[in-house]
Amino acid sequence: MREPELKLQQPVGDEVKQTTCYMCACRCGINVHLSQGRIRYIEGNPAHPVNRGVLCAKGSAGIMQHYSPARLDKPLLRVGERGEGKFREIEWDEALALAAKWLGDTRERDPNRLAFFTGRDQSQALTGWWAQQYGTINYAAHGGFCSVNMAAGGLYTLGGSFWEFGEPDWEHAKYLMLWGVAEDHDSNPIKLGLGQLKGRGAKVVAVNPVRSGYGAIADEWIGIRPGTDGLFAFALIHELLAADKVDLDYLVRFTNAHWLVRQNPGGADDGLFARDADGRALCWDRAGAVGLAEGTGVSPVIVGEFVLPDGGRAVPVFQLLAQRYLDPQYAPDAVADRCGVPADTIRRIARELAAAAFDQPVVIDQPWTDTHGRVHEKMVGRPVAFHAMRGISAHSNGFHTCRALHLLQLLLGAVDTPGSFRYQPPFPRPIPPANRPGKTRLANGALDAPPLGFIHGPEDLLVDAAGEPRRLDHAYSWRYPLAVHGMLHTVIRNAWAGDPQTVDVLFLFMANMSWNSAMNTGETMRWLTDKGEDGEYRIPKIIYSDAYSSEMVAYADLVLPDTTYLERFDAISLLDRPISDADRAADAIRHPVLDAAVQGRTHAAGAGRAGAAAVQREGRDVRGFQSVLLDLGARIGLPALLKEDGTPRYADYADYIVNHERAPGVGLLAGWRGDGTQHGKGSPNPQQLDRYRENGGFWHMDVPAAGRYFKMANRDYLQWSQGMGFIARAEPVVLELYSETLQKFRLAAQGHGPVQPPAAERERVARYFDPLPIWYEPFEGAQVETHRYPLSAVTQRPPFMYHAWGSQNAWLRQITARNFLYLHPDTAARHGLADDDWVHVDSHQGRITVQCRLAGNVQPDTVWTWNAIGKRRGAWKLHKDAPESRKGFLLNHLISDILPREGYANADPVTGQAAWFDLRVAITRAEAGEDSLPQFAAVDAGTPPTTPLRYGASFRKS
C-alpha cells in the first residue's frame, strides 16, 4: 500500500500569534496558529529564552483548555443553598455592583474583614498591591501550601532560591542532585538542562521516595523515606567535614563562616554576632585581635574561642557548625536506618560530591571584580549543582531541611560558581529581603506596605498586644513567624471559627479550596456551608473567580468568570515570579490571541468606570480577573486606583501593566521603557505592549560577561542589578550559614528583648528557631502511633498535568483519567495485595477506599499516587460517572489541617508551610467495590454536598 503524501510544511492556519503558555507555571513561549479566528495548533516558540521551541504535552493541549466545556460563561449569583451549585446568570453590571457593594461596605467597617486569597495565579504583583490599597492584612497567594519552605529557606540563607530564583549551571555542572523534585516544577527548562547534562556524561542523582519523571532518567535513585532529607544532608556534611573536604576559601570570602558569635548562655546577646560600635560584624584575625569580618587585609580564623575587647567570649560560626555536624548522631551509620539509605551509599555520595567539587574545578577565562575592587583573573567553580522542590519542602521540618541543603552547597563552595547552582536575576537579594509586611494603615486607608513581606525580627510580627495572631491565616504570628507566603491552607477553618476575627467577605481567585487545595476536605466543605444560630452563613459572603467550573464554584455566592489564558493580558513580571535564567533577565506578556472583533473593552471611561477587557464569543461573557479587580478597586474608591478627578486611573489590566510604576521608572515590565530604548528602568511607554508583541511576547537582557558568576559579591553584576532597578544598593550579599535572624526569635523566647512570645509559645519558638539547621521527626509521625500508621503517603505531580487544571482537558484525560494507590511489591505481599485490589487507607484523620497497583519505583515504607486526578462528581463539567470521580481519589481526605495532638496547623513551625507529605497511613485489604470512597453528592445535583454518599454524616473518625 502506498504511503500517503504528507505536506509537512502546510500552513495549519492563516495567522500565527506569539504569547506565553499557562498550562503550567514554567511560562514557555508559544506560537498559536489560528484559522478563521479559531485555534488550530500550538507550538513552542524557538526564539523564546525559557523553552527554545520545546513544548510539552500540556502546552500543546492548550487548545482543549481553551475550548474546554468546563469554561464558565457568565457571572453567576447563587440562588440555592451554598454548596448546591444552583445559580442564576446575571449581567456584569449587576455582578460588579454587587461585588463593589460587599467590598465597599466591608472596607468601611474594617478592611481586615476582607480575606483575599489567590491560588496559583501569576499576577501577585497586582493582587498584593491591590490588597495593600484596600488596606487588608488578610491577603496571600498559594505559596504557603506549595513551597514556601524552599523560598524562605533560600532567601534567608542565600538571598535566592531554587526554581524561579535560580538554576543549576547546565553548561558546566558535572554532578547534579535532584531533591524531591516534582515533574511540573520546573518542566521544559529542566528537561532541556537534563538533556544537556546527560549529553555531557554528567551524573544525575535523584533523591525522592518515588522514582518518576526526572528520577526515571537519573543515573542513580536514592529512595529515601519521606521527611528525612535533612538527616541525609547532615550525614553528607558530617562526612565532608570529617574528610576535610570543604571549601574554606569560599566560605571566608562569601559566607559568615568566620563571623564571631557571642557565647553568653542566658544573656541577652547570646548567639548574636560580635559587632563594633558601628554595627559591623567582627572576626578573629590570625594576627591575634578582632578585625572587620567584611574587611580586607584580615586573615580570619574559623575555629577556636576568643575573648572580645569588651571581655565577652565568642567563637566563629564555622566552629559551631563543625561541632554540631561532626557529632556522631549525624554519622552515616547513625542515620541510615531512619533515612532508608545504606550508610555505605551515604559515604559514597559524600565522596562523589567531594571528587566532583574539588578534583574537577571548572575554570572560565573571564576576569571579574569583587565588591572590594579586587580583580580575579579567572572564574573558578565547583561543578556540583542541586535542584530541589516540594518533596523536601512540604514537611513540618522542611524549612530546616532546605537550609541544610544550602549549607551543604556552601560547604562545597557550590553557590553561583561555574558548574554549581546559579542565581537568576533579580537575585540575589539582601538577606532577608528588605521589604517587611504591612502592619498599619495610612490616612487614606491603604496599608503602609504590601501585606506579604519579610520578617527581620520579632518586632515585625503581626500580633496583638497579647502576642496572638492578627492575620486570619495566623501567618507572621509566633506560631509561624516567617510565613512569608501566607497560609492559605488555614483560611477556611479560621474564617469559619472567627479566629482571630470573623470576616465579612472571602474573596478567592482560582483557589480550589473545597477540593484539591484543602486539607481535611470534608470538613472544609462543611465550614464553607455552616450556619450560625442566627441562620446566617458563618462565612457571610464568598466571591470566587475562575475560568473553569472547579469544585469551588458551588460554594460561591457570586462567581466572576475569568477568561482563558489565550484571551487576556498578563505580565510575567520581574516584580513577581521571574522567568529569567542565570545569564539574562527576562519577562514576558500574554495578550489576547483570538479575534479582536469579538473582544474589547466595555465600560468606556465615559461611563465613569474603569474598563475591563471583556470576551464575548460563542455565548460567553467573561472578563479577565485582573481587569475586574482594577474595576472593582475604582468602584469602591481605592485612592491609588483613581485619578485626582475621581475617574478610574487604569482602563484595564493592559493599561496597568504599561502605566503603573512601583517606584519611579520601575513597572511590571522591564523592556522598552521610556522612549522605547530604555530597559530595566524608565518612564512608562505607551507602545510597550506593541514592542513585546513584535518581539514574540518577551523581553530579555544579558547579564554582563564579567557579572555571570559570584553574583553575591560581583561588582559588575551588582551594579548592573542596581541599574536595572532590581536592588536598591550594589552591596555584597553575605551568605548565611548561621542565621542571626532566627537567633533573635530564640532570644525573645528566652525572655529577652521588647517583643516576646506569649508563655504558651516560648518553648516551641526556642526549639525551632535554631540559627543552624536542625532535623526533627516530622510532626505527624511524631504524634501518631507509628505502629498503627506504619507507612508514609505522598503524591507526585503527573508530568502531563498541572495541579487540577489538566484533568478536564480532553487530550490530557486520554493519558490518564483515574489514579491508583501505588505500593511496593514487598509491601503488597505483606498485605496480601495484588494489582487492582481494593484497599482501605487509614490515617488519624479518616479513611479512603481505593484500588491499588504494584510499583517497584517506590521506597517500600511509602505509598503514593498522582495528585489532582480525582474529581468530585459533576465538577469541571465532567460526566457524573467520569472515571476521575468514580475511580479517582484524593489523598487530601486523609490529611488533617491540624496536628493530631496540638492545636497548631499541620505545618512547618517556622514558615507555616503546609506539611502535605508528613501523612502517615495504614492499609488493609477491602472488599472489591465499584467506586472509590468517599463519594460526595454531585455538585450540581441539588443535594447538600457535605453528605457523603456512603459514609453517613461524616467520614471523620471519632
**Using N-to-C axis directions, what is the helix angle for 92-109 and 625-635, rounded to 10°?**
60
Smallest separation, CB 163 to ligand SF4 (Å): 13
Smallest separation, CB 802 to ligand SF4 (Å): 6
Strand, coil or helix: 855? coil
Residues 300-339 that bind ligand SF4 (CB under 6 A): none
Smallest separation, CB 309 to ligand SF4 (Å): 57
Stretch that binds ligand SF4, among 51-59, 102-110, 246-254, 929-937 (CB under 6 A): 51-59
Which is nearer to ligand SF4, 44 or 948 (by Cβ)?
44
Residues 152-171 that bind ligand SF4 (CB under 6 A): none
| 495 HSE (CA, 13 A, CB side) | 35
Closest residue by Cα to residue 40 from 23, 17, 58, 71: 17
Q: What are phi and psi of 293, to 5 degrees?
A: -60, -30
Smallest separation, CB 44 to ligand SF4 (Å): 7
Smallest separation, CB 57 to ligand SF4 (Å): 7
Site size toward ligand SF4 (CB under 6 A) is: 13
Cβ–Cβ contacts within 10 Å for residue 554, how many? Answer: 28
Residues 675-694 that bind ligand SF4 (CB under 6 A): none
- Residue 376-395 contact track with ligand SF4, rule CB under 6 A, x = bound: --------------------
Question: CA distances (Å), 702 to each of 225, 376, 424, 680, 707, in order?
Answer: 41, 21, 11, 12, 10
- Residue 869-898 contact track with ligand SF4, rule CB under 6 A, x = bound: ------------------------------
User: Does 868 help bind ligand SF4 (rule: CB under 6 A)?
Assistant: no
Which residues neighbour 263 within 8 Å (Cβ) at sequence distance 6 or greater? 270, 305, 312, 313, 314, 315
Smallest separation, CB 698 to ligand SF4 (Å): 13
Question: CA distances (Å), 131 to each of 116, 446, 900, 911, in order?
Answer: 7, 8, 34, 21
Residues 716-775 that bind ligand SF4 (CB under 6 A): none
User: Does 188 help bind ligand SF4 (rule: CB under 6 A)?
Assistant: yes
Number of residue whose CB is nearest ligand SF4:
59
Smallest separation, CB 892 to ligand SF4 (Å): 23
Smallest separation, CB 552 to ligand SF4 (Å): 22
Smallest separation, CB 551 to ligand SF4 (Å): 22
User: Does 51 help bind ligand SF4 (rule: CB under 6 A)?
Assistant: yes
Residues facing residue 423 across a β-bridge? 166
Separation of alpha carbons 884 and 689, rounded Å: 40
Given candidates 18, 45, 187, 396, which one binds ligand SF4 under the rule CB under 6 A?
187
Cell of 720: 548592573
Stretch that binds ligand SF4, among 50-58, 161-169, 578-586, 771-779 (CB under 6 A): 50-58
Q: Which residue's C-alpha cell is 502535605?
A: 916
Cβ–Cβ contacts within 10 Å for residue 443, how many? Answer: 6
Cell of 941: 445535583
Given candidates 34, 56, 718, 793, which one binds ligand SF4 under the rule CB under 6 A?
56
Residue type, 178: L
Which residues neighbour 795 within 8 Å (Cβ) at sequence distance 6 or greater? 864, 865, 866, 867, 868, 891, 916, 917
Residues facing residue 590 across a β-bridge? 570
Which is nearer to ligand SF4, 58 or 238 (by Cβ)?
58
Which is nearer to ligand SF4, 192 or 949 (by Cβ)?
192
User: Does 590 help bind ligand SF4 (rule: CB under 6 A)?
Assistant: no
Which is nearer to ligand SF4, 187 or 212 (by Cβ)?
187
Which is nearer to ligand SF4, 572 or 828 (by Cβ)?
572
Which is nearer to ligand SF4, 184 or 562 (by Cβ)?
184
DSSP 411-439: HTT-BSSTTSEEE-TT----SS-SPPPP-
DSSP 113-136: GEEEEE-S-S-HHHHHHHHHHHT-
Q: What is the DSSP letter of 240?
A: H
Stretch that binds ligand SF4, among 49-57, 132-140, 372-380, 738-746 (CB under 6 A): 49-57
Which is nearer to ligand SF4, 187 or 741 (by Cβ)?
187
User: Does 58 help bind ligand SF4 (rule: CB under 6 A)?
Assistant: yes
Separation of alpha carbons 642 and 133, rounded Å: 11
Residues 7-36 that bind ligand SF4 (CB under 6 A): 21, 23-24, 26-28
Cis peptide preceding 426, ω within 30 of 0: yes
- Residue 782-811 contact track with ligand SF4, rule CB under 6 A, x = bound: ------------------------------
Smallest separation, CB 55 to ligand SF4 (Å): 5
Smallest separation, CB 171 to ligand SF4 (Å): 21
User: Does 582 help bind ligand SF4 (rule: CB under 6 A)?
Assistant: no
Smallest separation, CB 519 to ligand SF4 (Å): 26
Q: What is the DSSP letter of 904?
A: S
Smallest separation, CB 595 to ligand SF4 (Å): 23
C-alpha 523: how far from chain center: 25
Cell of 425: 536575576
Pairing relation of β-strands 87-89 and 220-222? unpaired
Q: What is the DSSP letter of 49?
A: T
Helix (H) or strand (E) segment spanning residue 667:
strand 666-667
Separation of alpha carbons 877 and 884, rounded Å: 12
Which residues neighbour 881 within 8 Å (Cβ) at sequence distance 6 or greater? none
Smallest separation, CB 27 to ligand SF4 (Å): 5
User: Does 55 help bind ligand SF4 (rule: CB under 6 A)?
Assistant: yes
Judged by the rule CB under 6 A, the positions of this chain that interact with ligand SF4 are 21, 23-24, 26-28, 51, 55-56, 58-59, 187-188
